[in-house]
C-alpha cells in the first residue's frame, strides 16, 4: 500500500471516528421521527418564530445558516433569524426556520444526510476519489457530509458535540449546517 493510500485511509478513518464520537455524545436514540417535528425536550418552552431579518441586521434569536459548500449553487442555502427566548433544541429551531433535514435509515434523528433535499440521491458529488451518490443508508461518506456548527453571540464557530435532537442553542447564538467535500470548507465563514 502506498503512503498516499495509507494517508487517505487514515483520514477516512479519522473522519468516521469523529462522526462516531458525535453519535456517542448524543443521548440514546429516540424513536424514528421526522426532524421537522419538535422532539421532546427538558428545556423551558420558548416561543420561536422565523424572521427574515437574519441577513439584514442583528438577530435577537438564533441565526440559522445553511451552506451547501462545494455543492453550490444550491436551493438548500438559506439564512434566517428564528426568534426565541429560551434554550431550544437545534431540531426545533430548524423546524421553525423551515429547514427540512433528513437522517439516514440507520440514524434517522442522530445524523443529517440531506438538508432541504440536498444532496439529492441522483446527484453526483465530485470528490478527490471520483464521484459519489449519497443514499442515506448508514453513515454519510467521510469525505462528503453535512456538519452541525454552533457559534456563541461572541466567539468562534465550534463543531456541535450533539445531534440535532439534543443540541441546545440559545438566543444570540448562530446555528449552521455546512456541507463539506474532501475537508472543504473546513468551517463556516459567516
Cβ within 8 Å of residue 43, ≥6 positions away: 86, 87, 88, 89, 168
Q: Grid coordinates 437522517 are at which residue?
A: 103
Cβ within 8 Å of residue 35, ≥6 positions away: 91, 94, 95, 100, 101, 102, 103, 109, 112, 164, 165
The rounded percent of the chain whose pLDDT value lies above 70 is 69
Closest CA to 162 of 59, 12, 29: 29
3-state secondary structure of 31: coil
pLDDT tens-digit series, residues 99-150: 999 999 999 988 899 999 999 999 999 999 999 999 999 999 999 999 999 9
Closest CA to 167 of 27, 64, 54: 27
CA distance linking residue 92 with residue 77, whole number of Å = 18
Mean pLDDT throughout 152-175? Answer: 94
Q: What is the pTM of this model?
A: 0.71
Task: Please determine, for residue 91, whether its predicted confidence score (pLDDT) is greater than 80.
Answer: yes
Amino acid at each position: 500500500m502506498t503512503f498516499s493510500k495509507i494517508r487517505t485511509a487514515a483520514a477516512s478513518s479519522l473522519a468516521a471516528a469523529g462522526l462516531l464520537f458525535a453519535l456517542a455524545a448524543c443521548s440514546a436514540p429516540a424513536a424514528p421521527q421526522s426532524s421537522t417535528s419538535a422532539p421532546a425536550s427538558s428545556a423551558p418552552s420558548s416561543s420561536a418564530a422565523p424572521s427574515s431579518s437574519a441577513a439584514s441586521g442583528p438577530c435577537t434569536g438564533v441565526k440559522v445558516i445553511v451552506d451547501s459548500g462545494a455543492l453550490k449553487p444550491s436551493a438548500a442555502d438559506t439564512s434566517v433569524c428564528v426568534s426565541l427566548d429560551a434554550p431550544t433544541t437545534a431540531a426545533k429551531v430548524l423546524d421553525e426556520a423551515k429547514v427540512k433535514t433528513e437522517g439516514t435509515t440507520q440514524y434517522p434523528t442522530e445524523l443529517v444526510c440531506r438538508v432541504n433535499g440536498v444532496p439529492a440521491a441522483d446527484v453526483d458529488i465530485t470528490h478527490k476519489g471520483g464521484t459519489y451518490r449519497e443514499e442515506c443508508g448508514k453513515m454519510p461518506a467521510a469525505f462528503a457530509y453535512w456538519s452541525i456548527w454552533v457559534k456563541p453571540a461572541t466567539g468562534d464557530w465550534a463543531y456541535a458535540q450533539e445531534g440535532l435532537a439534543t443540541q441546545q442553542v440559545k438566543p444570540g447564538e448562530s446555528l449552521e449546517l455546512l456541507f463539506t467535500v474532501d475537508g472543504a470548507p473546513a468551517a463556516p465563514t459567516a
